[in-house]
Amino acid sequence: MATKTITVTNDAYEALKGMKEEKESFSETIIRISGKRSIKEFVGALSSSSADKLKKEVYAVRQRHATAHRERMKKTVSGLEG
């Protein structure tokens, strides 16, 4: 992983150090407090049945969009063919 070196004031360092959790790197602290979240944090957020319902609905929406897209393309092609 690439790294960058930054310069901060002593006050900023102490503030960041105060926010740092045990066994957490400064990089991890910055990411945590900056609001950037990992997808891993959402594992288990939905029950199995809720996840299944969501998956089915996402699939259905994608199917409707794909069908609508195919219909638009057919109209476009037939309009070009004259």
Q: Are 26 and 34 in contact (CB under 8 A)?
A: no
Same domain for 51 and 82, yes or no, is yes
pLDDT value of position 19: 96
Together in a domain, 29 and 57: no
Structural domain that includes position 63: 45-82
The model carries a pTM of: 0.48
- My answer on whether 49 and 32 are in the same domain is no
Shared domain for 31 and 50, answered yes or no, is no
Instruction: Give the count of domains, the chain.
Output: 2
Based on the domain organization, do 21 and 54 belong to the same domain?
Answer: no
User: What's the CA gap between 74 and 1, in Å, rounded?
Assistant: 47
Question: Do 28 and 3 fall within a single domain?
Answer: yes
74/47 Cα distance (integer angstroms) = 41
pLDDT tens, 5-61? 999 999 999 999 999 999 999 999 998 899 877 788 888 999 999 999 999 999 999
Give yes or no: residues 81 and 58 share one domain: yes
Whether residues 53 and 75 fall in one domain: yes
pLDDT by residue (tens digit) across 59-71? 999 999 999 999 9
Token look-up 């901060």 returns 8
